[in-house]
Structures are given as C-alpha cells and as structure tokens.
Amino acid sequence: MKLRSTFSNLLLAAAVLVPSACGQTLPPEPYGPVPSERQLAWHELESYAFICITTNTFNDLEWGYGDADPDIFNPSGFDPEQWMPLLKEAGLKGVVLTCKHHDGFCLWPSAYTDYSVKSSAWKDGKGDFVGDVAKAAQKYGMKFGVYLSPWDRHDLRYGSPAYIEYYRDQMRELLTNYGPVFEVWEDGANGGDGYYGGACEKRRIDGRTYYDWPNTNALVHELQPDACIFSDAGPDVRWCGNESGYVGETNWGKMVRADFAPGVYDVDILNGGDENGTDWVPAEVDVSIRPGWFWHESENSEVKSPECLLDIYYSSVGRGANLILNIPPDNRGLFCDEDVRSLEGFAELLKKEFGNCVNGGIKKAEASQVRGGSRTYSARQVLDEDHETYWTTEDGTTSASLTFTFRQPTTVNRAMLREYLPLGQRIASFNIEAQDESGAWKEVAAATTIGHKRLLRFDDVTATALRINILDAKACPVISDVKFYKSGN
C-alpha cells in the first residue's frame, strides 16, 4: 500500500474513524525510530563518490600541516567532466568534494580568507574549483555534497570562539552559492599540531563542546533542508567506524544520538548500530579506491581492483549502509588511468551482478500469513517495482515466510531484499531456502538484518521454488522488495 499517498491517507483516516465501515485493514504502527524524508531520499542514493583534492595532492601529504604555499595548488588539466560519466557508469549518484581539508586551504574563493584558490597559480587566482565541480555534477545529473573540515591547521583562530564564526561563515558560502547540496560532511579528525597562523603548536579542543554543533547544524538545515549531515554522531548519517569499507554484518540504522559527538563515540555501535536505539541514524561507509585519501604517484600501483570494489559494495550497500567511494584526482585534476580502469571494471561487474533478474519467471507468490488476509499486504507486493507497497503480517508475528514458485526450474545465485523503512527496521534474522525438483528444501543463504537493502551471494542453485524465512524480528516483518538474480560473474 502507498502509505504516504494522499488517497490512502484519506482511506486510513476514514478507517481510523470508522474501523469496520469499509473493511480496511490498518497498516502496522511504526516500530522504533523511523527515517525523516531527507534520510529516506539519502537511502535511495546508496552510493556516491568522495573527491579528495587539496594542497596535499601537490606536496605528497595526507594531512597538510597548514603551511603549504597556496601557489602549489595548480591542477593544470582539471576537468570534472572527465570524472562524471565514469562515476555515473559505476552507479555512483553524486560527489562530495573536500572544499576545505585539515590543511585549511579553500577550493573556492572564500570572502573570509586568502588561503584559497584566490592565492594559487591555478587560473591566475581567478578559479572556483567548487563551482566548477558543482556545475559539472549538475550537468551530469549527479548530486553535489560538501566536506568542510572542522579542524583547520592553517587558521590562527582555530581553538577560539572566533574560529566557529569563521567556520559558519564558510558553511554559509558553500550552502548558498552552489545550488542544492545533498550531504554535508563534518569530519571527526580533530586537534593536534599545526601551523595555526604561524604559532606552530599543538592545540586541543573539547569535541563535545567546542564546535557548538547544534547551532551549526541548525544553520545547515535552514540553508539546505534536504542535506543530510554526516558525522560520528549524525544527526542524519553516522560514520561506520572504520575506513576499510564495511559496516557490521548486523547493521541497525538506529542509535542513541545524544550519547555521541564528533570524535566521541563507541566504534561497535557506529559499525553495527543499536537495535534498541531511539534515533534513526544510518551508517555511511567511507573508503578510498587507494591506500590514501589523496593522490600520490607512489600509490598508482595500489589502486583497488574491481573485484575488491565489488566486495566493498556487498559489505556496505549490501548490508543496508550507503557507500562513499573516494577517487582522488591527480595533480592534473583528472582521474588517472589506474583509477579509471578500476572504475570501469567495477561498472562491468555490477552490470553482470544485477543485470539478470529472474523474477519474471515467478508464477506464484505466497505468504505463511498476510495481514488481515488483505491483498494490500499480500506476498505479490514485494514483486512489483514499487518500493511503497509491501507484504506484512498480523501484529505480534515475528516469524513468517514468503514462497516464490517458478514456472520452470530456474538457476539463481543472488538475492536482494528491502524492508519498508517508513515503518521502522524490524527484521533480525532470516534465511533463504531453495526447493529442487524432488521437492526437497535446502538452505542457500542466511543473514541477520535487512534495513534499506540486503544483498546476498550464494552458489548457483537450480530451484523450482525459493522460500524466505523470517526467523526473528523485533515486530511483525514489513518487506517492500525481493529480487532474485542469476549473476554472470
């Protein structure tokens, strides 16, 4: 059923007032915290690119000290239109750019500092790297997001209240002048030694209090209501707790937001969420296609293989998280050949992986139980292409099954499931069984949580029918989509 369509809301209201008047079966109540509209839109993106470039790209550093001569920033062959089609082909839906990294150098001509492209050789100080990337993204139908490092190793004011004003002024520039922004990255890496306007010392800040995040975040949401804010503590999206490309095999989209702050967290909860969490704060997996976040010639031979990227895809998107894959442009401002080959290979693998859906061969979809016996909640609802319709059961049912019978024996080796998140995340454990021509059932895959999406790989099995058994759930299961594939990989 379309929970959020006006028509069904009217029906719903009528059913609440006169429960038996039209025999309408009410949907389950939401269970636990549910995503906001901006989070729901973010879930649909699933994967996008990180673009890390700054002075580090030109002086071979990962964390610039903040004292680099701005003149070294000179990506002479810069062309974001080289990046966009490659990213798009690999299924990535947007880009998040390091507008300012820890070195403090700004890729746009900020009115609040000279430590920016204004003072670099690039385009004689007249360029706006952020503007060019935002424009190219828009041209290719890609979303645009900004990374504005809270830690600034260049600026003299870092550590004092004046710096917070500076940070907010810059946030205002980025969120006002470059069109719609889908995500704002607030990195947790913080404090330590730096140039700090020539002081060259170690500065420590209190991660819980110094930045006054509630007020900065209110500004972000005021200027860009659709932007999801990423940090160790959300509020919209949480860090997954590592930079190696995986979220927990069990991954709940919830946590207790008030327990955390950027730089103040529990890694296990970041990685797997909290099944009893009170706030919807789903995980984002940040990982680089290279060992480092920035381009280094010496790492050209260490670009991750397409197969490795596919594994990362399964352990991020395939476990209900979003993936932000970093592809750092080189000192020309272009993706270099090694990265291009890997991205192209990854795009090919994804096509083979999910290009052959076998759902068309399903003759019958049945459920062990259907809420109110209503067609609105029947097993068929998981097979339409509509994410807003779903199968569900009576309240209190925490184990149930869906059976799909093929017209003829069909070979399958991949599965995709989605829960209907507007009603909350519920499923804690399930498996998939296949029936052979003798009628015998055998387990082919098993996993724990589903959330936005679960992808499963298993050996080829030729089945007359497939059965999904929900083995444990926090409340009655609500599944919006099921797809089976025969991958060619």
Nearer to ligand FUL, 63 or 112 (CB): 63
Q: Is residue 346 near ligand FUL by the rule CB under 6 A?
A: no
Comparing every residue's Cβ against ligand FUL, the nearest one is 189
Among 167, 293, 335, 430, binds ligand FUL (CB under 6 A): 293
Nearer to ligand FUL, 72 or 189 (CB): 189
Q: Which two tokens stand for residue 394?
A: 């009576």
The least distance separating ligand FUL from the CB of residue 288, rounded to whole angstroms, comes to 8
- The answer to whether 207 touches 261, Cβ cutoff 8 Å, is yes
Q: Is residue 183 near ligand FUL by the rule CB under 6 A?
A: no
Dihedral angle, C-alpha 236, 239, 245, 247, nearest 10 °:
-80
Among 128, 187, 339, 433, binds ligand FUL (CB under 6 A): 187
The least distance separating ligand FUL from the CB of residue 171, rounded to whole angstroms, comes to 17
Cα 486 from Cα 489, distance rounded (Å):
9
Residue 481: name the closest of 393, 379, 410, 398 by CA.
379
Burial of 332 (0-12, 13-18, 19+ CB in 10 A): middle
Q: Is residue 189 near ligand FUL by the rule CB under 6 A?
A: yes
The least distance separating ligand FUL from the CB of residue 187, rounded to whole angstroms, comes to 5
- Among positions 394-453, residues that touch ligand FUL (CB under 6 A) are none
Nearer to ligand FUL, 100 or 467 (CB): 100
Q: Is residue 232 near ligand FUL by the rule CB under 6 A?
A: no
Burial of 225 (0-12, 13-18, 19+ CB in 10 A): exposed
Cα 89 from Cα 348, distance rounded (Å):
9
| Count of C-beta atoms within a 10 Å radius of residue 238 | 28
The least distance separating ligand FUL from the CB of residue 11, rounded to whole angstroms, comes to 46
Among 132, 183, 232, 286, binds ligand FUL (CB under 6 A): 286
Residue 328: name the closest of 14, 7, 60, 2 by CA.
60
Size of the site for ligand FUL (CB under 6 A): 5
The least distance separating ligand FUL from the CB of residue 268, rounded to whole angstroms, comes to 18
First to last CA, the chain: 35
The least distance separating ligand FUL from the CB of residue 239, rounded to whole angstroms, comes to 8
Residue ranges binding ligand FUL (CB under 6 A): 63, 187, 189, 286, 293
